[in-house]
Amino acid sequence: MKINFSLGKEWSELKKFEKLSDSERSIVFYAENKASMNHFRLLINHLTEEMNLKICYVTSVKDDPIFLDTNTNINSFFIGNGTVRTKFFLTLKAKILIMDMPDLETYHIKRSKVFPVHYIYIFHSMFSIHSYLRKGAVDNFDTIFCVGEHHVKEILEIEKIYDLKPKKLVKYGFGRLDTLLDEKNEIGENNFEKRLIIMTPTYGKENFLKICGIEIIDILLESNFKVLLRPHFRIFQETPDLIDEINKKFQNHKNFRLEEGVISKEDFHSSKCLISDWSGISMEYAFVFERPVIYIDVPQKIMNDEMKRIPLIPLEVSIREKIGHLVDIKKVDQLPEIIHGIDNENSKEIKKFCSETVFNIGKSAKIGAEYIKKKLDN
C-alpha cells in the first residue's frame, strides 16, 4: 500500500499536528528517512507499549511504514522535506523532540523559536563524532544518547576545545544493534546462506563502488557467489551514471541484486559476509555475527575539516583491523579466497570489542525511555 501526499496535504498534516493538545505532542520523533526507524523502533515500542505514553511520529518519507502501524499511542504525520518541514521546526511546540538527523541550527533546520523544546540526538552510526559528522553537528542539542564511551570522551573534548555549553550525555547504547541481535535470536543460524555477499559502499568521491566496484562484482559472480549491492542512498544521487552502468551489466544475472532501500532482515541474517569501505553498517555486522567483515582499503571519508583538532583516534580507525580484513584495491582478486577463509575464529575477540564499545547492549530502549519519561515529568 502506497500513501500519496500533495504539497497541500503536507500543510494540512502540519495543521493537524499543531491542533493536538499539549499532552498529545509532548514527545515527538522526527524521521528524515526510512532508516530512522531502525534507530527509533525499540525506544518507541518501550515508550508506547511498556509505558503507555503517546508519541508523535513526524516523517519526511511519503510511504513511511509508520502510516500502516496500528499502535493507537502513535500519531503519525507527513511533512515532506521542504517549506513545511522548515516551518514545523521553527514553530514546534513540544516538550521533547528526538531525532537522528544532525546539524541542528547549522543549516535551514532550526530550533523552535516559540517554545523551549528539549532536543535529544540519537546516533545513526557507532562511528566517531569528529570524523563521520560535520563540525558542530550535535552542538545544538540538549541531550545526546551516546553509543559508547568514545562518544562521551569526544563530546567532552569538543566542548572543551570550542568552549561550548555542556550537554547532558546519556550512556544509552545503540538501538539498531539491539534490534539486529533480537532478529538474530529470532531467525537463528539455520538460514545461513554461505553464498550471499552483501556489498555496502558508502558515499563520497573515493568509495569503493566508484573505484573498483564493478570489478569486485565480476569477481564474486564468477566465483559462484550471490551478490546483494546496497549503495548508500547518496550514491544514487551523486553518481547515477555508475548505477545505470551496473544495472545494464548485471541486472539480468540471476545471482545479482541491487537494493535501493533497506536490506531485509532475511538477507542480512542469511549472508556469508559483508564487504564495505567506511560504512557504519560494517561495525553492526561484525558485532551481530561476531565474525570479520571485509574492508576495501580506500581513503577515509572525513566530514569534518577540523577533525585533527580533536586529539582522539576515531573509533572506526582504531577498531578497523581488529574486526575485519583490510584489502588493497589492487588485490581484490584475492576476495574469494578471503571469503572462503572467514569463520568464527575471531568471535570471542570481536564479542569483547563489542562489549567494550557499546553501552547497555540489549537495554538501550529501557534506558532511553526512562530518561525521556523523567525529563517529561520534570
Same domain, 190 and 314: yes
In terms of residue numbers, what domain contains 282?
Answer: 186-357
C-alpha 141/C-alpha 119 separation (Å) is 5
Same domain, 216 and 284: yes
pLDDT on residue 1: 43
Please, which pLDDT band fits residue 194 given cuts at 50, 70 and 90?
Answer: confident
Q: Report, as an integer, the average pLDDT of 3-29.
A: 88
Please, which pLDDT band fits residue 348 given cuts at 50, 70 and 90?
Answer: confident
Same domain, 13 and 160: yes
Same domain, 149 and 249: no
Whether the per-residue pLDDT at 259 is higher than 80: the answer is yes
Same domain, 167 and 274: no
Same domain, 333 and 368: no
* Mean pLDDT estimate for the chain: 94
Same domain, 82 and 205: no
pLDDT digits (tens, 9 = 90+) for 307-345: 999 999 999 999 999 999 999 999 999 999 999 888 755
CA distances from 168 to 75, 142, 152 (A): 28, 6, 10
Whether the per-residue pLDDT at 81 is higher than 50: the answer is yes
pLDDT digits (tens, 9 = 90+) for 83-110: 999 999 999 999 999 999 999 999 999 9
181 in a structural domain: no
With a pLDDT cut of 90, the percent of the chain lying above it is 87
Whether the per-residue pLDDT at 5 is higher than 80: the answer is no
Same domain, 223 and 336: yes
Q: Report, as an integer, the average pLDDT of 268-293.
A: 94
Please, which pLDDT band fits residue 204 given cuts at 50, 70 and 90?
Answer: confident
268 in a structural domain: yes
Same domain, 168 and 238: no
Same domain, 130 and 232: no
DSSP code string of 261-307 = SPPPHHHHHT-SEEEESS-THHHHHHHHHTS-EEEE-PPP----TTG
Same domain, 368 and 302: no
114 in a structural domain: yes
> What's the CATH number where 236 sits?
3.40.50.2000
Same domain, 322 and 350: yes
51 in a structural domain: yes
Q: Which of 24-33, 98-107, 244-253, 258-267 has the lowest mean pLDDT?
A: 258-267
Residue 51 identity:
M
302 in a structural domain: yes
C-alpha 108/C-alpha 132 separation (Å) is 20
pLDDT on residue 69: 93
pTM of the model: 0.92
pLDDT digits (tens, 9 = 90+) for 127-175: 999 999 999 999 999 999 999 999 999 999 999 999 999 999 999 999 9
What's the number of domains the chain is made of?
2
Cα radius of gyration (the chain): 21
